[in-house]
Structure 1
Amino acid sequence: MPDWVQDAVWWHVYPLGFVGAERQAPADGTVTHRLDRLTAWLDYAVELGANGLALGPVFASSTHGYDTVDHARIDPRLGDDADFDALVAAAHDRGLRVLLDGVFNHVGREHPAFRAVLEQGPAAPTADWFRLRWPHGPDAEPEYDTFEGHGQLVALDHSAPAVADWVTGVMTGWLDRGADGWRLDAAYAVPTSFWATVLPRVRARHPDAYVVGEVIHGDYARVVADSGMDAVTQYELWKAVWSSLNDGNLHELAHALGRHDGFLDAFVPLTFVGNHDVTRIASRLTDVRHLPHALAVLFTVGGTPSVYAGDEQAFTGVKEDRAGGDDAVRPAFPDTPAGLAPYGWPTYRLHEELIGLRRRHRWLHRARTTPLHRDNRQLSYAVAADGQRLVVALNLADTAARLPAPGAGAVLAGAGTVRGDSVELAAHGWAVLDG
Structure 2
Amino acid sequence: MHWIHNTVIYNIYPLGFCGAPKDNDFQLNYRLDKIYDFIPHFKKMGVNCILFNPVFESTRHGYDTIDYKKIDSRLGDNASFKKICETLHQNGIRVILDGVFNHVGRDFFAFKDIQEKGMGSPYTAWFQNIRFDQQSPYGDHFSYEGWAGFYDLVKLNLNNEDVLSYLFDAVRYWIDEFDIDGLRLDAANVMDVNFFKRLRGVTKGKKSDFWMFGEIVGGDYNRLANADTLDSVTNYEIYKGLFSSHNDRNYFEFAHSVDRQVGDWGMYKNIYMYNFADNHDVTRLSSIIRDKALQKNVYTMLYAMPGVPSIYYGSEFGMEGKKQRHSDDDLRRELNLNALENPDYALFEHICKLGKLRHSLEALQYGKYKNEQIQLEHMCFSMKTDNQKVYIMLNQSNEPRSLGVNTNFNGVLTDVLNGNQQYQCNGWCEITIPPMSSMILVENDGSFRIDFSENENDAPIPAAENMPAPVEEKEPELVPEEIVKGRYRHFKGNVYEVIDFAKDSETTELMVVYRALYGEHELWVRPYKMFQEIIERDGKKMRRFEKIG
Whichever residue aligns with residue 350 of structure 1, its letter is H
Deviation at 1:182, TM superposition (A): 1.0
Deviation per residue, 1:386-430 (Å, 9 max, x gap): 342111111122222111233371211148885751211122232
CA distance in 2, matches of 1:5, 1:297: 18
Deviation at 1:135, TM superposition (A): 3.8
Match of residue 258 from structure 2:
257
Whichever residue aligns with residue 14 of structure 2, its letter is P
Cα distance, 1:361–1:321 mapped onto 2, change above 3 Å: same
Query: Which moved further from structure 2: 250-259 or 217-226?
Result: 217-226
Match of residue 396 from structure 1:
396
**Residues 1:276 and 2:280 are matched in the alignment:** yes
CA distance in 1, matches of 2:190, 2:423: 48
Match of residue 216 from structure 1:
217
Match of residue 151 from structure 2:
151
Decide whether the 8 Å contact of 2:29 with 2:76 is kept in 1.
yes
Deviation per residue, 1:287-309 (Å, 9 max, x gap): 11211110111111111111111
CA distance in 2, matches of 1:152, 1:32: 25
**Residues 1:371 and 2:379 are matched in the alignment:** no
CA distance in 2, matches of 1:47, 1:155: 41
Cα distance, 1:137–1:314 mapped onto 2, change above 3 Å: closer
Cα distance, 1:310–1:394 mapped onto 2, change above 3 Å: same
Decide whether the 8 Å contact of 2:319 with 2:343 is kept in 1.
no
Whichever residue aligns with residue 285 of structure 1, its letter is I
- Equivalent of residue 286 in structure 1, options 275, 287, 290: 290
Cα distance, 1:215–1:137 mapped onto 2, change above 3 Å: closer
Whichever residue aligns with residue 176 of structure 1, its letter is D
Match of residue 226 from structure 2:
225
Deviation at 1:265, TM superposition (A): 2.1
**Residues 1:142 and 2:142 are matched in the alignment:** yes
Decide whether the 8 Å contact of 1:43 with 1:94 is kept in 2.
no
Deviation per residue, 1:233-289 (Å, 9 max, x gap): 111111111111100111111111112313552220111112111111111110112
Whichever residue aligns with residue 375 of structure 2, its letter is D
Deviation per residue, 1:26-59 (Å, 9 max, x gap): 1xx3211212112211221112110111111100
- Equivalent of residue 414 in structure 2, options 410, 414, 422: 410
Match of residue 305 from structure 1:
309
Match of residue 247 from structure 1:
248
Whichever residue aligns with residue 253 of structure 2, its letter is E
Deviation at 1:140, TM superposition (A): 5.9
Whichever residue aligns with residue 47 of structure 2, its letter is A
Give 5+ residue unaligned stretches, structure 1: none
Match of residue 16 from structure 1:
15
Deviation at 1:359, TM superposition (A): 0.7
**Residues 1:317 and 2:318 are matched in the alignment:** no
Query: Which moved further from structure 2: 94-103 or 414-423?
Result: 414-423
Report matched runs for 1:104-253 at 5 Å. 104-136=101-133, 141-177=141-177, 178-225=179-226, 228-253=229-254
CA distance in 1, matches of 2:228, 2:22: 34
| TM-score under structure 2 length normalisation | 0.75
Question: What is the number of equivalent residue pairs in this alignment?
Answer: 428
Cα distance, 1:165–1:263 mapped onto 2, change above 3 Å: farther
CA distance in 1, matches of 2:73, 2:344: 32
Match of residue 330 from structure 2:
328
**Residues 1:430 and 2:429 are matched in the alignment:** no
Decide whether the 8 Å contact of 1:168 with 1:199 is kept in 2.
no
Report percent identity of matched pairs.
29
**Residues 1:70 and 2:72 are matched in the alignment:** no
Give the secondary-structure state (helix, strand or coil) at the position aligned to 1:225.
Answer: coil
Deviation at 1:222, TM superposition (A): 2.4
CA distance in 1, matches of 2:176, 2:87: 17
Query: Which moved further from structure 2: 267-276 or 357-366?
Result: 357-366
Cα distance, 1:109–1:31 mapped onto 2, change above 3 Å: same
Deviation per residue, 1:37-87 (Å, 9 max, x gap): 122112211121101111111000011111111111010111111111111
Give the secondary-structure state (helix, strand or coil) at the position aligned to 2:226.
Answer: helix
Deviation per residue, 1:295-326 (Å, 9 max, x gap): 1111111111111111111111111121xx21
Whichever residue aligns with residue 198 of structure 1, its letter is L
Whichever residue aligns with residue 64 of structure 1, its letter is H
Give 5+ residue unaligned stretches, structure 2: 444-549
**Residues 1:49 and 2:46 are matched in the alignment:** yes
Whichever residue aligns with residue 437 of structure 2, its letter is G
CA distance in 2, matches of 1:58, 1:107: 14
CA distance in 1, matches of 2:241, 2:362: 24
Deviation at 1:25, TM superposition (A): 0.5
Cα distance, 1:263–1:304 mapped onto 2, change above 3 Å: farther
Give the secondary-structure state (helix, strand or coil) at the position aligned to 1:423.
Answer: strand
- Equivalent of residue 81 in structure 2, options 81, 84, 105: 84
Whichever residue aligns with residue 17 of structure 2, its letter is F
Deviation at 1:200, TM superposition (A): 0.5
Give the secondary-structure state (helix, strand or coil) at the position aligned to 2:28.
Answer: coil
Cα distance, 1:387–1:263 mapped onto 2, change above 3 Å: farther
Report matched runs for 1:91-102 at 5 Å. 91-102=88-99
Deviation per residue, 1:94-118 (Å, 9 max, x gap): 1111111110010011111111122
Decide whether the 8 Å contact of 2:398 with 2:436 is kept in 1.
yes
Decide whether the 8 Å contact of 2:233 with 2:273 is kept in 1.
yes
Whichever residue aligns with residue 364 of structure 2, its letter is L
Deviation per residue, 1:181-234 (Å, 9 max, x gap): 111111111111111122202321222321111111111122112752111111
Query: Which moved further from structure 2: 306-315 or 116-125?
Result: 116-125
CA distance in 2, matches of 1:268, 1:365: 10
Bigger-Rg structure (1/2)? 2
Give the secondary-structure state (helix, strand or coil) at the position aligned to 1:372.
Answer: strand
